[in-house]
Amino acid sequence: MHRVHVAVGILNQTPFAWEENERNIRAAIREARRRGASMLCLPELCITGYGCDDMFQSAGLQERAWEVLERVAAEETEGMVVSLGLPLELRGAVYNCAALCVDGQVVGLVAKRFLAGDGIHYEPRWFKAWPRGVVTHVERRGRRIPIGDLAFDLSGLLVGFEICEDAWVAARPGARLSTQGIDVIFNPSASHFAFGKQAVRRQIVVEGSRAFGVTYLYANLLGNEAGRAVYDGGGIIASAGSPIAETTRFSFAPVQVVDAVADVDFTRLQRARSASFAPDVEGGDEDIVRVEFEVPRVGPAAFERIELSDYGKEEAFGRIIALALFDYLRKSRAQGYVVSLSGGADSAACACLVRMMVDLAVQELGLEGAKERLGHVAALEGAGDAAAMTKALLTTAYQATRNSGDVTRGAARAVAEAVGADHHELDVDALVERYVGMIGEALGRELSWERDDLTLQNIQARVRGPSVWMLANVRRQILMATSNRSEAAVGYATMDGDTCGGISPIAGIDKAFLRQWLRWLEEEGVAGIGPVPALEAVNAQQPTAELRPQAEGQTDEGDLMPYPLLDAIERVAIRDKKMPDEAYAILRAEQPEIAPAQLRAWVDKFYRLWCRNQWKRERYAPSFHVDDKNLDPKTWCRFPILSGGYALELRELEESAGAGSDGA
């Protein structure tokens, strides 16, 4: 019987945080050893961190990464097989590599063949893709170490690699590895969170284990690594088409390890039984590194398919943003967060997410464990429960003008009390009037709502900025910008007003989902924590900027269009890159209840506002990526600040109405 004990490690790493990263790597290896595992797969580029960006090209960074690799290999991998990821320069190019360490030595490096270059990923800027079937050597410390498209023969047990994106392409390397008789595939990954993505990962891993007749080890990163991308963990072990182990997701711990016993005889038997399996008996073995090390065999163990379950979208959103905020606070060494709490949906969501951050951390780590992870926050020293932690970490302020109402004031106060924030109520109306009077005097006329509507709205939002910035500065806390993605798409935000802040936690999500999430949080909430009934005061309102006189009954959707439609236009226009006439035709079919003239007007409005407001999106605070519709121009959706603005296309859309092309 040939059974081996395998494991995957999930790590919360930080770009070139050498000591912390090495400490996490060592902890994972030791935990795997404690569990009896002899083979361990760790995440992609785990030595340096995945988010080093242009620093990957630094010779100094590469050299230090190699020093860590050799030190960890020599001191931690005796009697084990461990993969570690790092960048490596060879002949003037940098490669994304997985180093296989066996029994105290680096025995070879596999270079990534398929680079991720879509969405948030930018690997082709830093790395070169390794060509199929090519093998060479690197010289390190007097040793010639093989590098390339390699497999490893460990005294009869064959090990190969697919590195993250390698497994997501049609021509994945696992198919070729299978023809070589591979027994175990390591997949070191850096796969950021997106809604529904874990189910896709499982499919890739489980189907790979079945189709290739192998045991498949998938390791992923965890947490907010470098600021924008957030990783949910989700390490998976599968064998012969069955998932046999999986880590929990959204953990606040620095390291997670999951292990299982893999039956090599069984996977080989499954492959041999397959009538379609065609081994490569003609190829040479130049790409197989032979290592004199026998992976320890273990006794019988249960081989059962595990039951898998996923969080719903609402809970997954709450958990990933809570983890992102926790790590952002921890890694930036700030003392907490400040929210300008308006009484509306966006700011209420931000405040609730901070409380959720505290509750989830305490739930998993315990009070003292959560405080230890945030040990740099001096105000937490005497906190005796999650409520006291929240009060130390969250400052909120309601800032009223004459156009503010009792409803929003009461809603803000109720939310602040429910989450346990240190709440303040400030009156900024006198400041607004001073600015209005000063500019009126400079212009030689009074400013009026009939003539200066937008100016008078914006000054109210902007006046609120300095006071919350002062609170953030005094308390050394991070000011949260509260704009959502729907507002970013059309520029429905005041620059240096509600866009003030160092982090924008909800800028990656649309307003329609955000309102849905707040209703879920009011009624249900996160498992083990429960709902926030005080949100009823927020959810009962129509979203409003509350910047015009109350008699006008200002609402966001009145200023713009219904949020669900705005998000639908954004989907086809920006994600799917459709021209105005195409977007109109698609939405006309999807939403026939909207009058053609009205739909055409809203489509026209979206495209005009989108083009006009790219400069705003360029200035937004960093946001977290949660789906495939992010508008962040620095890492996802690039668009020119100056353009033709779809002028011709929108004119053609208008002319088509006159031609009666849709019966309008």
- The runs of H, that is alpha helices, within 491-595 are 511-523, 536-539, 556-559, 563-570, 580-590
35 with 182, same domain: the answer is yes
CATH number at residue 502: 3.40.50.620
542 with 579, same domain: the answer is no
DSSP state of 110: E
Q: Which residue has the higher pLDDT, 548 or 41?
A: 41
CA–CA dist 259, 261 (Å, integer)? 7
461 with 579, same domain: the answer is no
Residue-number span of the structural domain to which 269 is assigned: 3-291
432 with 579, same domain: the answer is no
* Domain final residue, candidates 539, 560, 581: 560
- For residue 88, CA distances in Å to 48, 63, 64 come to 11, 9, 11
Q: Which residues lie closer than 8 Å to 577 by C-beta, 6 or more apart?
A: none
Amino acid letter for position 503: I
pLDDT attached to residue 555: 84
229 with 115, same domain: the answer is yes
CA–CA dist 489, 623 (Å, integer)? 14
> Average pLDDT of 648-661?
84
Burial of residue 170 (CB within 10 Å: 0-12, 13-18, 19+) is exposed
Whether 303 is in a domain gets the answer no
Q: Phi/psi class of residue 190: alpha, beta or left (left: φ > 0; alpha: ψ in -120 to 50)?
A: beta
267 with 381, same domain: the answer is no
Q: Is the pLDDT of residue 187 over 90?
A: yes
pLDDT attached to residue 628: 76
pLDDT attached to residue 436: 94
Q: Which residue has the higher pLDDT, 659 or 256?
A: 256
Largest CA distance in the chain: 93
pLDDT attached to residue 300: 72
Nearest to 202 by CA among 241, 259, 176, 165: 241
pLDDT attached to residue 542: 83
Whether 635 is in a domain gets the answer yes
Sign of the dihedral through C-alpha 491, 505, 624, 232: negative
DSSP 160-221: EE--GGGGGSTT-HHHHHHHTT--EEEEE------TTHHHHHHHHHHHHHHHHTSEEEEE-B
- For residue 7, CA distances in Å to 83, 237, 247 come to 11, 8, 10
pLDDT attached to residue 305: 57
**Which pair of structure tokens corresponds to residue 5?**
């004990």
Would you say 126 and 94 are in contact if contact means Cβ atoms under 8 Å apart? yes
* Domain final residue, candidates 527, 560, 593: 560
> Average pLDDT of 225-244?
95
In total, how many domains does the chain have?
Answer: 3
Whether 298 is in a domain gets the answer no
Q: Is the pLDDT of residue 323 over 90?
A: yes
Whether 300 is in a domain gets the answer no
- For residue 465, CA distances in Å to 31, 152, 597, 647 come to 48, 59, 39, 35
DSSP 579-622: -HHHHHHHHHHH-TTS-HHHHHHHHHHHHHHHHHTHHHHHHSPP
Q: Is the pLDDT of residue 500 over 90?
A: yes
Whether 90 is in a domain gets the answer yes
Whether 541 is in a domain gets the answer yes
pLDDT attached to residue 61: 97
**Strand ranges, E, within 335-494:** 337-340, 394-400, 422-427, 478-479
Q: Is the pLDDT of residue 306 over 70?
A: no
Q: Phi/psi class of residue 163: alpha, beta or left (left: φ > 0; alpha: ψ in -120 to 50)?
A: beta
636 with 578, same domain: the answer is yes
340 with 472, same domain: the answer is yes
pLDDT attached to residue 525: 96
pLDDT attached to residue 662: 64
Whether 418 is in a domain gets the answer yes
521 with 595, same domain: the answer is no
The answer to which of 61-70, 138-147, 472-481 has the lowest mean pLDDT is 138-147
Whether 394 is in a domain gets the answer yes
pLDDT attached to residue 543: 78
- Kindly report, residue by residue over 531-588, the tens digit of the pLDDT: 999 999 999 988 776 677 877 778 878 889 999 999 999 999 999 999 999 999 999 9
CA–CA dist 37, 29 (Å, integer)? 9
CA–CA dist 396, 413 (Å, integer)? 9
- For residue 174, CA distances in Å to 156, 170, 257, 262, 334 come to 18, 10, 24, 18, 44
How does strand 184-188 pair with strand 157-161? parallel
CA–CA dist 256, 230 (Å, integer)? 16
Q: Which residue has the higher pLDDT, 625 or 49?
A: 49
pLDDT attached to residue 82: 98
Assign 106 a pLDDT band (cuts: 50, 70, 90): very high
CATH number at residue 608: 1.10.10.1510
568 with 556, same domain: the answer is no
> Average pLDDT of 590-612?
96
Q: Phi/psi class of residue 16: alpha, beta or left (left: φ > 0; alpha: ψ in -120 to 50)?
A: left
> Average pLDDT of 321-327?
98
- For residue 20, CA distances in Å to 16, 46, 58, 333, 604 come to 9, 11, 20, 14, 51
Would you say 601 and 595 are in contact if contact means Cβ atoms under 8 Å apart? no
- For residue 367, CA distances in Å to 324, 359, 388 come to 19, 9, 11
CATH number at residue 133: 3.60.110.10
* Domain final residue, candidates 560, 588, 610: 560
Other beta carbons within 10 Å of 602: 20
549 with 569, same domain: the answer is no
Q: Phi/psi class of residue 369: alpha, beta or left (left: φ > 0; alpha: ψ in -120 to 50)?
A: alpha
CA–CA dist 478, 357 (Å, integer)? 15
Assign 660 a pLDDT band (cuts: 50, 70, 90): low
653 with 579, same domain: the answer is yes
CA–CA dist 75, 63 (Å, integer)? 18
Assign 422 a pLDDT band (cuts: 50, 70, 90): very high
Mapped onto helix, strand or coil, the DSSP state of residue 116 is coil
DSSP state of 72: H
Assign 28 a pLDDT band (cuts: 50, 70, 90): very high
Assign 370 a pLDDT band (cuts: 50, 70, 90): very high
Would you say 449 and 460 are in contact if contact means Cβ atoms under 8 Å apart? no
Q: What is the 3-state secondary structure (H, E, C) of 218-249?
A: EECEEEECCCCCEEEECCEEEECCEEEEECCE
CA–CA dist 189, 24 (Å, integer)? 16
> Average pLDDT of 469-485?
96
